[in-house]
Structure 1
Amino acid sequence: MKDILVDDFQYTAQELLVRNKSILDLITKYQDSNSRVNRAVIKTVTQCGCLSINAHKQDVSDDASFDEMKNSANGHVEGTLCDNCRDAIERDMGRNLFYLASICNTLDLNLYDIILKENDRIRMLGKYNLR
């Protein structure tokens, strides 16, 4: 069922993309949509205030186990997204996914297959696939 949803999204993106069909246009639109996601997240802190960022060095000892490292890592985000910020971020992420799907269409790639392959890679490598 999930493959149908991703494939339907990719097909819809293909049907609705009329103007920016050049791979060059798509790449720049994808980058622009990515920067809009970043900006929307930053606005949650700087304009709305529903989130705050308390960033500091991640203190992990050199001899820590994988589970200790995983449990001690912090996302540095405090608070909860308000409805307005959540909507803005979701809208910008949706636009970002639209351009990603459009790039896949132009290159004759299947987004669902890419997701499956990456999921297989990260599951196979497990903790050795640290990012």
Structure 2
Amino acid sequence: MKDIIVDDFQNAVSESLLRHKSIVDIITKLSESSSRINRAVAKSVTNCGCISIEAHKQEIPDGVSLDEVSDLLKYQIEGTLCDNCREVLEEEIGTNLYYLASLCDALDLNLFDVLIKEYDKIRTLGKFSLL
């Protein structure tokens, strides 16, 4: 069922592409949408203040197992997104997904297949997938 939703989304994106049908347009719009997500997070901190970033070096004590590390590491975000900031971020992330689906369509890739391959890799490698 979920594959149908992702495939339907990719098909809807493909049918709606008119102005940005060029691969150059798609990759630049994808990059721009990523920047807009970053900007929306920054504005949640600097303009709204609903969240704050408490960034510092995350220490991992000696002798800690890999399973224990995930409990020790934090996202370093304090607070929660207000309704307005949440709405803006959901819209920006949605736009990013739109251009990601556009890129997949342009390159004859199936977004669901890409998602499943990444999911399988994470399930197989677990915590080792990004080390």
Q: How many residues get paired?
A: 131
Please state how far the C-alpha of 1:62 moved relative to its aligned partner: 3.9
Q: TM-score, normalised by structure 1?
A: 0.96
Aligned-residue Cα RMSD (Å) equals 0.9
Q: Give the corresponding residue for 2:54.
A: 54
Q: Give the corresponding residue for 1:5.
A: 5
Q: Which runs of 5+ in 1 are unaligned?
A: none
Q: TM-score, normalised by structure 2?
A: 0.96
Q: Give the corresponding residue for 1:81.
A: 81
**Whole-angstrom distance in 2 between the partners of 1:99 and 1:112:** 15
**Whole-angstrom distance in 2 between the partners of 1:63 and 1:106:** 48
User: Is 1:101 the equivalent of 2:101?
Assistant: yes
**Whole-angstrom distance in 2 between the partners of 1:95 and 1:128:** 30
**Whole-angstrom distance in 1 between the partners of 2:72 and 2:30:** 33
Q: Give the corresponding residue for 2:45.
A: 45
State how 1:8-23 maps to structure 2 within 5 Å.
8-23=8-23
**Whole-angstrom distance in 2 between the partners of 1:127 and 1:76:** 19
**Whole-angstrom distance in 1 between the partners of 2:60 and 2:114:** 33
Letter in 2 for 1:64: V
Q: Which runs of 5+ in 2 are unaligned?
A: none
**Whole-angstrom distance in 2 between the partners of 1:25 and 1:73:** 38
> Sequence identity, in percent?
57
Runs of 4+ in 1 over 2 A off after TM superposition: none
Q: Give the corresponding residue for 2:31.
A: 31
Please state how far the C-alpha of 1:67 moved relative to its aligned partner: 1.7
**Whole-angstrom distance in 2 between the partners of 1:72 and 1:64:** 10
Letter in 1 for 2:25: D
**Whole-angstrom distance in 2 between the partners of 1:41 and 1:127:** 26
